[in-house]
Amino acid sequence: MSATIHVENARKHYQSGDTTVRALDGVTIEARPGELIGIMGASGSGKSTMLLIAGLLEPPTEGEVFFRGERVSCPGADLDRLRAFRRRNIGFVFQKANLIPFLSAIENVALALKIDDVPKRAAHDYAEALLVELGLGHRVDNRPARLSGGEQQRVAIARALANDPPLLLADEPTAALDSVRSRHVMELFRTIADVRGASILVVTHDPRSVDLFDRVYEFSDGKIVATSRRTAPEALAAH
């Protein structure tokens, strides 16, 4: 089976004054259906830049991005045209939940569906089902201000999942949460990958969750300096 996302030898250079910042310097990564991939590395090592390129929000200065084997981005690509593509195929989660403050939890999730022209009733029902699935059944009618940080983040994840995208990109989704809730959110990603077969890229600083990742890319200065694989579950079970 081909990779959901495949970023091939991507470079991203930013010009600031006379100096060129090499935010990404020849990086290749891929994620297959059902895989939860970790991206780790020091601050400024290019992790977020990687997500921008994989998420079709910035074109690479050099290199290519393939989605299910099809080239979708390359230097100079006009990405604004890909808005509808993004809406169906990529879900985003950030450190901050970025929920719309004047909408309830369920409305925030349903909005993602309405944007994709799902009828109101169906959007509402599916949003509710998603929130129940993420353990927020009792919070659906609350506005974000009345939810805890962990709950807000789960609503944001539900919203990212609403259109059933094959690819989920998360940039430090647990940075604002305590360790128990962080673990909870990471386990949620694991489940989503397993049950829905989504490919998930998670940028994180938290080493305690590495056991959940299928693969971890270690970034440094815009390059991948190490790739580690999780021991296969069968192997663990054999112990």
Partner 1 sequence: MSLALKDIAFSPTRFILTVLGVGFLITASIGMVGIYRGIVDDAMLLVEKVGADLWIVQGGRQGPFSEGSSVRADLDQRVAGVAGVTSARRFLQVSQQFDAPDGVGQMRAAIVGLDYPKDEGNWIDLVAGRSIATGHFEAIADETIGLALGDVVRLNHDDYTIVGITRQMVDLSGDGILFVTINDAMEIAQRRSSEEVLLTRAVMDDAGPEAALSPAANKVAAVLATVDPAADIAAVRASIAAWGDVNVMSRADQRDLLLNQRLWRLRVQILAFTGVLLIVMTIVISLIIYMMTLEKLHQIAMLKLMGARNSLITGMIAQQSAAISFLAFGVGIGLAKLIFPLFPRRVVMAPDDITYLFIAVAVIAACASLIGISRAMRVRAQEVLA
Contact set with partner 1 (CB under 8 A): 48, 52, 57-58, 83-88, 92, 94, 98, 100-103, 107, 111-112, 115-116, 143, 159, 171
Footprint (CB under 6 A) of ligand ATP, residues 2-31: 14, 16, 21, 23
Q: Which two tokens stand for residue 68?
A: 């299910």
- What whole-number distance in Å separates Cα of residue 220 and Cα of residue 42? 7
Candidate segments 42-50, 63-71, 128-136, 156-164, binder of ligand ATP by CB under 6 A = 42-50
Residue 73 — φ and ψ, nearest 5°?
-145, 145
- What whole-number distance in Å separates Cα of residue 118 and Cα of residue 186? 29
Instruction: Spell out a b/e string for 5-31, using b for 16 or more CB atoms within 10 Å of the CB, else e.
Output: bbbbebbbeeeeeeeeebbbbebebbb
CB of 225 to ligand ATP, least distance (A): 13
Q: How many CA atoms lie within 13 A of 9 on its CB side?
A: 2
Q: Name which position in 17, 18, 43, 237 contacts ligand ATP (CB under 6 A).
A: 43
What residue 132 binds from Mg ion, ligand ATP, partner 1, none (CB within 5 to 8 A, per partner kind)? none
- Total number of residues that touch ligand ATP (CB under 6 A): 12
Dihedral of alpha carbons 133, 138, 143, 147, sign: negative
Candidate segments 3-11, 37-45, 86-94, 108-116, binder of ligand ATP by CB under 6 A = 37-45
Q: Name which position in 4, 5, 30, 46 contacts ligand ATP (CB under 6 A).
A: 46
